[in-house]
Structure 1
Amino acid sequence: MNFEIKQLFDLFHTQAADYLSAFRYPWEALDGIKQMILNLGEKLPADEYEQRAEGVWVHKTAKVFPSAYLGTPCIIGPETEVRHCAFIRGSALVGANCVIGNSVELKNVILFDNVQVPHYNYVGDSILGYKSHMGAGSITSNVKSDKSLIVIHNGDERIETGRKKIGAILGDCVEVGCNSVLNPGTIIGRNSNVYPVSCVRGVVPENSIWKNNGMVCIKNS
């Protein structure tokens, strides 16, 4: 599988298209998310976006429930719903028609359009592609238990990232089952599925299914 940005995502579906296109691999884009959001925010049309606080922009068609917390910087896109007790810690670019559910926590993320993280999810230092969905209770783990630098495992191939924090990279139209854990540096290719209650690591090819025992099956065409 090729896990370059151009293979994982259709950049038409994010305001971060120009930013992401400057990188080859998705984890290379994680460090600059905060500044990218600040730069984008200053250019957003005032007739479409409300600036609710310094560094916080919410589209006028978005619905943000009163108990949700919007940390700085963040951008909430058109028709997106941020539900009760959602905790957006900051450095979060949330696209159009997304669902950020109850008690969901976001930190240093890019969510493409039509992403759903609807129930009790933690997503940190991650990029979620167009129409990707995380089932209830599924989370990204972004730091190794021994705090060592993260290595991307693709079969026998090992890619040194030089980073201490990487959550998960989900390509377009990925489905993650309920209560799954995506270990640091997990990359899931386009149109792939993860069984519920899975513990996922490494690279999962596009158009495939990760089963509970870690076996990966290619989908029938």
Structure 2
Amino acid sequence: MPLFATRPIDDFPIGNVLLRDHHTALKIDGLHTHPHAWLSALDVAFLSANGTRTLVDEQQVPLAWFGDDADLSNAVVASSSFLIVHPWDLIRANELHVASLTESRIEGSVHPNAVIEGTIHLGPGSRILPGVFIEGNVVIGANTKIGPNCYIRGSTSIGDKCHVGNAVEIKNSILLSGTNVGHLSYVGDSVLGEKVNFGAGTITSNLRHDGANHRSEVEGVLVDTGRRKFGCIVGDGVHTGINTSIYPGRKLWPRTSTRPGDIVQRDLMS
């Protein structure tokens, strides 16, 4: 997978916090976690109240447990926790985490002509410029510039040293650090790796005409993502030419590129 080719899953940020740091933050004595598990607060609270149990997913893979080893004979199936296996699982985890935020934390600057309707975490040195409309919960890292005149929708996470600029819409997506979506682009239900640059007019499609779940190819087999809306997965260092159009569910491997006007109909590996 493009994103997992350059970093282990537990080093991937969810809401700009590494997955392994989410686990560390639980601070529950004796609790062991699968390094790739996304654990919901509800399931963790249940497990803590019933400390002899093991939390498993629907395939009986242990997600979290007390004691040295997981006890499958005393297991409970998670209600909303799951194992991150594919890149689209990152979108699901990010949705749950960012949507759960209840208090804003603003360390950067917000222009008075920007509108924020939702909970926002804004890192130090970051700027939200005039004409920006943020709708829903959004997490933005440090030294990032948002705007002018763009639309950010929840549940989106944007890393450090990014730029989301004029006439850009970002919806329910993850942008890693150093990534630029400068102008006239749409990114929906997608994950963009580090130091990606979307040329002007790059558009991701995220909805099939028949409304069915998207499927994505994994090792030659089409896998149901479980998502009705799913854009693209973009590896580190990808550059797109202006007016690139990307079909839903497509994956662009690290350091690949497109030419102006390209249509990405299949996964781009070289």
Q: TM-score range by the shorter chain?
A: 0.7 to 0.9
125-134 vs 157-166, which moves further: 157-166
State whether structure 2 residue 160 is matched by structure 1 residue 99: no
Map 1:130-149 → 2, pairs under 5 A:
130-149=194-213
- Does the 8 Å contact 1:153/1:202 carry over to 2? no
Map 1:37-76 → 2, pairs under 5 A:
37-38=98-99, 48=107, 54-76=118-140
Q: Which amino acid in 1 is paired with 2:161?
A: N
Cα offset, 1:109, TM superposition: 0.6
Cα offset, 1:100, TM superposition: 0.2
5+ residue gaps, structure 2: 23-34, 38-83, 111-115
Which protein is richer in strand relative to its size? Answer: 1
Give the secondary structure class of the aligned counterpart of 1:204: coil
Map of 2:5 onto structure 1 = 7
CA distance in 1, matches of 2:99, 2:226: 25
Change (3 A) 1:76 1:69: same
- Does the 8 Å contact 1:126/1:167 carry over to 2? yes
Q: Which amino acid in 2 is paired with 1:32?
A: A
Q: Which amino acid in 1 is paired with 2:180?
A: Q
Change (3 A) 1:184 1:102: same
Map of 1:177 onto structure 2 = 241
CA distance in 2, matches of 1:183, 1:116: 20
Give the secondary structure class of the aligned counterpart of 2:189: strand
Give the secondary structure class of the aligned counterpart of 1:152: strand
State whether structure 2 residue 119 is matched by structure 1 residue 121: no
Q: Which amino acid in 2 is paired with 1:143?
A: L
Instruction: Count the aligned residue pairs.
Output: 202
Give the secondary structure class of the aligned counterpart of 2:125: coil
CA distance in 2, matches of 1:188, 1:8: 13
Change (3 A) 1:144 1:63: same
Q: Over aligned residues, Cα RMSD in angstroms? A: 2.7
- Does the 8 Å contact 1:5/1:24 carry over to 2? no
- Does the 8 Å contact 1:9/1:129 carry over to 2? no
Change (3 A) 1:94 1:21: farther
TM-score, scaled relative to structure 1: 0.80
Q: Which amino acid in 2 is paired with 1:28?
A: D
CA distance in 2, matches of 1:195, 1:137: 12
The structure having more radius of gyration, on CA atoms, is 2
- Does the 8 Å contact 1:154/1:203 carry over to 2? no
User: What percentage of aligned pairs have identical amino acids?
Assistant: 29
State whether structure 2 residue 28 is matched by structure 1 residue 30: no
CA distance in 1, matches of 2:203, 2:36: 26
Cα offset, 1:103, TM superposition: 0.9
Cα offset, 1:179, TM superposition: 0.4
- Does the 8 Å contact 1:13/1:130 carry over to 2? no
TM-score, scaled relative to structure 2: 0.66
Map of 1:215 onto structure 2 = none
Ranked by relative contact order (alpha carbons within 8 Å, sequence separation 6 or more), the top structure is: 1
Match of 1:89 among 150, 153, 178: 153
Q: Which amino acid in 1 is paired with 2:96?
A: Q
Map of 1:166 onto structure 2 = 230
- Does the 8 Å contact 1:95/1:111 carry over to 2? yes
119-128 vs 68-77, which moves further: 68-77
Cα offset, 1:31, TM superposition: 2.5
5+ residue gaps, structure 1: 209-221
CA distance in 2, matches of 1:120, 1:160: 30
